[in-house]
Structure 1
Amino acid sequence: MNEKLWKLHFPEFMGSNDNVIRQLMDAAVVVDLPSRQQVFYPGKACDNYLLMLSGSIRAQIISADGREILLYHVQAGDSCVLTTSCLLGDNNYPAEGYTESEVSAFAIPAHIFHRCLEQSTFFREFVFRNFSKRLADVIKRMESISFGSVDQKLAKVLIAIGDDTIYKTHNELALELGSAREVVSRHLKRFESYGWLTLSRGCIQNINFEALNKILKSTENN
């Protein structure tokens, strides 16, 4: 058991006096994955419950017209909502996931997950609390993709990042928005023509956040 990692990332487990939790911590294996590696795909069986230690995993689906639509990110301190759902329902993955950076995570074998879920009140509460929170985040994201203009959604993403220089490609922003790269590029170029930002390869600079906020306010008032 790697007590240092448990204490740093999941201290509530270290504070538990539950013997079942101690067995779970002993059974957990640290897995390290390189950037841009596929973690799961539609139809893949779910063998482990994952608790993220570092890095980021992108979960996404492919639309009927071939677009990648981001569902959520799994980052340090998170559990994966699709993994939890598949383990609880004994189902295979319905979507795909890729590492966005080097990733480190605790992998807990499925049979240990189910035994602890049955025997430990602490673990049940932890799993369902995190599952509920992550599911709510996914629903909010789907709502933001489904409703609102492209201008509004693009402005909201740029404001949320908050940096004067944003190192993201048009394709990465399209993935965030659940839109096509060509659509995002067209709107960004229009923003540039208004003097709201400057486009260069792989980054967006000189962002006028005041102008972007006006887009959101004007939409809210309509």
Structure 2
Amino acid sequence: MLQELKDAYGFIFEEELIREIEETGVLKVSHAGEIIMDINDYITSMPLLLDGAIKILREDEDGNELLLYFLERGDTCALTLSCCLGQTRSEIRAVAERDTKYIMVPVSKIEEWTTRYKSWRNFVFESYQSRLSEMLETIDTLAFMNMDQRLLRYLQDKAKINQSEELQVTHQQIAYDLNTSRVVISRLLKKLEMEGKILLQRNQILVQDL
């Protein structure tokens, strides 16, 4: 685990902090599609991603989901961090986008390291800034993009996160993430295919416009 920590965070944290994370953190592995953290859960620790990817979702009163952003290796979730420090329930759902390995750091250490390590403090602030920028981008896509543009952006982001142009995803799952209907998604996927931006294959989508 120590080497994986160094590979993912060695360019951010000093050696002493890396070793503290290894000693106090709990190593976890979640498979693709598994819920890592759910809405209304009490949050007592935050994740540091070693490998894989996590998607962060919000849910409205009717149970409809909306994708906010993705987390990759070297990231953490600022919304989780806020819940940890505020000792409140989670307002997001975190789902493994693909098989993911991460370390859960206890809230007591989060506060301690913020005081002791400048690198950790900078990491926390930069995480807030990055996640805020990503949420603003999500708002922009909702406000200013047509659904076909949102769909293409979603597929492009998903391909980059999964490091593959071939996406194993159903039309229904896309509809859930974009908070629309499967019929709309199926129609727009056909439109994107006719425009040469994607290729629809059996049980997968090939993203050609990256």
Q: TM-score range by the shorter chain?
A: 0.7 to 0.9
Asked whether the equivalents of residues 24 and 116 of structure 1 are also in contact (C-alpha less than 8 Å), the reply is no
Give the paired residue count: 205
Q: Which runs of 5+ in 2 are unaligned?
A: none
Aligned residue runs from structure 1 range 120-159, under 5 A:
120-158=117-155
Amino acid at match of 1:168: V
Aligned residue runs from structure 1 range 1-222, under 5 A:
2-12=1-11, 15-16=14-15, 22-158=19-155, 161=159, 166-191=167-192, 194=194, 196=196, 199-204=200-205, 209=209
Cα deviation for residue 51 of structure 1 reads 0.4
What secondary structure is seen at the aligned counterpart in 2 of 1:51? Answer: strand
Asked whether the equivalents of residues 13 and 120 of structure 2 are also in contact (C-alpha less than 8 Å), the reply is no
Asked whether the equivalents of residues 21 and 123 of structure 1 are also in contact (C-alpha less than 8 Å), the reply is no
Amino acid at match of 2:204: C
| Cα distance between partner residues in 2 of 1:92 and 1:206 | 37
Amino acid at match of 1:45: Y
Q: Which runs of 5+ in 1 are unaligned?
A: 214-222
* The 10-residue stretch of structure 1 (20-29 or 148-157) with the greater mean CA deviation from structure 2: 20-29
Please list the CA deviations of residues 7-27 of structure 1 after superposition, one character each: whole Å capped at 9, or x if unmatched.
1111135535xx666534421
| Cα distance between partner residues in 2 of 1:14 and 1:119 | 12
RMSD of aligned Cα (Å): 3.0
Please list the CA deviations of residues 177-197 of structure 1 after superposition, one character each: whole Å capped at 9, or x if unmatched.
3433221112223445x4645
Alpha carbons of structure 1 residues 14 and 69: separation in structure 2 relative to 1, 3 Å: closer
Amino acid at match of 1:203: Q
Amino acid at match of 1:103: T
Q: Calculate percent identity across the aligned residue pairs.
A: 24
Cα deviation for residue 92 of structure 1 reads 1.3
Alpha carbons of structure 1 residues 45 and 190: separation in structure 2 relative to 1, 3 Å: same
| Cα distance between partner residues in 2 of 1:32 and 1:190 | 38
Structure ID, larger Rg? 1
Please list the CA deviations of residues 55-106 of structure 1 after superposition, one character each: whole Å capped at 9, or x if unmatched.
2222212234443211122221110122112123222101212223222111
* The 10-residue stretch of structure 1 (152-161 or 91-100) with the greater mean CA deviation from structure 2: 152-161
The two structures have a TM-score, normalised by structure 2, of 0.80
Amino acid at match of 1:188: L
